Amino acid sequence: MYKLIIEKNDGEEKIIIDEINLTDPNVLVKYNGGTLKSFDRIRLNEKQIIDQTPYENIANKLKAEYASYIGHVIPSKILFVIDDEWEPTEKTSINSRWKIKIKKTPGMVRDLTGYDYIIDMRRFWLDQWTKAQTYAAVMSQLLRINAFDGTIFNYTEDYHSKMLATFGAEYLEPDTEIQNMLENKITIHGFEKANGQMEIMV
């Protein structure tokens, strides 16, 4: 049994609007004629929660400040999902220790909800990051959205080199101090091409 908890933020505290018992978490949520976009926060199951408002606000502020990089991004088309349960263990592989990632919303889910992308985050890392790191993490994923066709850049492509070159390889590691992108205008740049590297235009 799953419980869907629907909450609203009145500016001071979270107010539970409704609780719905579900036999299956894979449902289209409708409430008073609305869809998922009607809510600030929805718990999908014991592990995952949609925490839309604060992270969509961050994305909007980043877009306003860095329009030359991510002006094509529409934050209201991105669903922000947090994993509340994950923690690393001794057996956790490097590949499964990801901190934040973006993916295209599956076709049917996209059609039902209106979201084109999903940004997955983990509470374990969010709780250890400074505000500056959280902003940089969200920016790293917004930069992955290809302005030309809406696809997602791979980690080895242009966006990744820009973030590493700007903040350093450890910028999302706990206790790393970086500049706050929303308090200081940061010039995002990439690594210089290595000697002998060729650029092929297609």
User: Mind listing the pLDDT tens digit for each residue in 142-195?
Assistant: 999 999 999 998 876 655 667 888 999 899 999 999 999 999 999 987 655 444
Here the tokens at position 166 are 């700007």
The one-letter amino acid code at 90 reads E
Question: Which contacts of 69-74 are long-range, i.e. CB under 8 A and separated by 24 or more positions?
Answer: 69/143, 69/188, 70/139, 70/142, 70/143, 70/145, 72/145, 72/147, 73/142, 73/145, 74/116
Report the 10 Å Cβ neighbour count for 103.
12
Whether the Cβ atoms of residue 39 and residue 50 lie closer than 8 Å to each other: yes
**Hey, what amino acid is at 193?**
K
Does residue 53 sit in helix, strand or coil?
Answer: helix
In tens digits, what is the pLDDT along the chain, a chain of 202 residues? 455 565 655 556 666 655 656 554 444 444 444 455 555 677 777 788 888 889 999 999 999 999 999 999 999 999 999 999 999 888 887 778 899 999 999 888 788 778 999 999 999 999 999 999 999 999 999 999 999 999 998 876 655 667 888 999 899 999 999 999 999 999 987 655 444 443 433 3
Is residue 79 within 8 A of residue 105, CB to CB? The reply is yes
Q: Which of 107, 113, 118, 111 is nearest to 36 (CA)?
A: 113
Which residues fall within 8 angstroms of residue 10, CB to CB, at 6 or more apart? none
- Identify whether the C-beta of residue 122 lies closer than 8 Å to the C-beta of residue 82: yes
Residue 21 neighbours by CB distance under 10 Å? 8
To 5 degrees, how large is the angle CA 186–CA 191–CA 202? Answer: 115
